[in-house]
Structure 1
Amino acid sequence: MAQQVESARRVPLSRDRVLRAAVALADEIGIESLSMRKLAQQLGVVPMALYKHVANKEQLLDGMVDVVVGEVDPPVRGSDWKSAVRQRILSARRTLRRHRWASQVIESRTTPTPVVLEYMDSMIGMFRDGGFSVDLTHHVMHALGSRMMGFTQELFDDSASSDAETPPAVSHEMADKYPYITEMAMARAHDAESAVGPGCDDQFEFEFALDLLLDGFERLHRQGWTSTEH
């Protein structure tokens, strides 16, 4: 450890190095435990040295999002729009599976960074290059929402209830009051390695919904759908 810190001190500090070190540290200890002090310790510098490259914690988080989004594969050239969009979104999902804290940070940002704007612009461009009108593309982007970035926002976080053992009496009461919820809960088979943690956002369900959306977009595009007609 001492040798690693000493080696880190000899490498010049830069904004890129600070951000990539922050991403690696968040991968290791979680985003909640990340602090400027711990990051400085990891880099073998005093905390004040970081502020030459990031003004504050919020700017650090913005930069970390940029690093993560920058890892998403670029659009596939020469493919039809549907394949290109699907491959890009699934690449984004693979990226978030490597950085499981990232969806939480992306959701917390109030203003998109230039890297995120470039990503969104390229996504829009894939639909426009595929012949979609500006009108339809606008509604497509709303329909995709966070799925465009590789994750979905669940209505409820059921990870706590699924981990705890429910007393039999409570289970029977739940089944009587909410039979269809209970039926679905008993039948589900979810992926504990979801990009957004335990819950309903496993890989199969993500791709299932993505393909439904893409098929729907394709149908509307072929029909020449416009919002002014509805």
Structure 2
Amino acid sequence: MARPRKPLLSRDRIVGAASALVDSEGLDAVSTRRLAAVLGVSGPSLYNHFRNKEEILDAVADAVSAQVDLSMFEESDPRDWREALHDWALSYRAALAAHPHIVPVLARGPGRRPAGLRVADAVFGAMTGAGWPPAQATRIGALMRYFITGSALGSFAGGFVDDETAYDPADYPHLGQAHLLADHRRQVDEGAFETGLRALLDGLAIQYGPYARPAGERPSGPAAD
């Protein structure tokens, strides 16, 4: 039997094509008709793998979640909860920074997405394992998601134009150098994220005192709020 001219349609091929469209043109560029044309298939054939556009975008979002490093939460990893959260947050933000257009979908939460749920499970498990009460561990997971996804939704430095005449000292006496920010976008945004992350973790470390347990001690039962 002759081999087909085109590879058989699969979920991975659909997600790959949708991811490329989202990255290059944004969420609005994705439609089943557009994807079918890109993949060289008939529109209805997509429905053998996904029920609708929303399911496709969910799969694209989950593919990004799968890029996040979770190794710091493994029991064999020597990092404590604070260092683990720090390194995980950097990995998470890097994944979102590489695919900024999908961030609004990720910001809605993991839903039923397997990779997204593995991220949530790893963070919650690491926090409760370190002694945080379950309610606090849930709040920490939420707080981290708010902070990381919020930072990826836009660029502070990119919000200023490269035109010094836009910032008249008579109106904005403290923005005399604001027109230079756009040229240092990555440095400013990554520095701001690191500054905020460390401040956030410093605050959590202050709250952690009552829950701390000796190194190596495992939780013996459900913790109170």
Tell me whether the two structures share a fold, i.e. TM-score over 0.5.
yes
Alpha-carbon contact 1:82-1:214 (below 8 Å) kept = yes
Equivalent position SS for 2:48: coil
Structure 1 counterpart of 2:80, one-letter code: D
Matches within 5 A, 1:1-230: 10-76=6-72, 77=74, 78=77, 79-107=79-107, 109=108, 112-115=111-114, 116-148=116-148, 151-152=151-152, 159=158, 162-163=160-161, 165=163, 171-172=168-169, 174-175=171-172, 179=173, 182=175, 185=178, 191-193=184-186, 202-224=189-211
Alpha-carbon contact 2:111-2:117 (below 8 Å) kept = yes
Structure 2 match to 1:197:
none
CA distance in structure 2 between the aligned counterparts of 1:8 and 1:122, rounded to whole angstroms: 42
Q: CA deviation at 1:67?
A: 0.9
Q: Normalising by structure 1, what TM-score? A: 0.72
The two structures, once aligned, show a CA RMSD in angstroms of 3.5
Structure 2 counterpart of 1:100, one-letter code: P
Structure 1 match to 2:219:
none
CA distance in structure 2 between the aligned counterparts of 1:122 and 1:111, rounded to whole angstroms: 13
Q: Normalising by structure 2, what TM-score? A: 0.74
Specify whether residues 28 and 138 from structure 1 end up closer, same or farther in structure 2 by C-alpha distance, changes over 3 A only.
closer
Unaligned 5+ segments in structure 1 are 1-6, 195-199
Q: CA deviation at 1:34?
A: 2.8
Alpha-carbon contact 1:66-1:113 (below 8 Å) kept = no
Q: CA deviation at 1:159?
A: 4.7
CA distance in structure 1 between the aligned counterparts of 2:196 and 2:126, rounded to whole angstroms: 19
Aligned residues: 208
Specify whether residues 184 and 211 from structure 1 end up closer, same or farther in structure 2 by C-alpha distance, changes over 3 A only.
farther
Q: CA deviation at 1:44?
A: 1.5
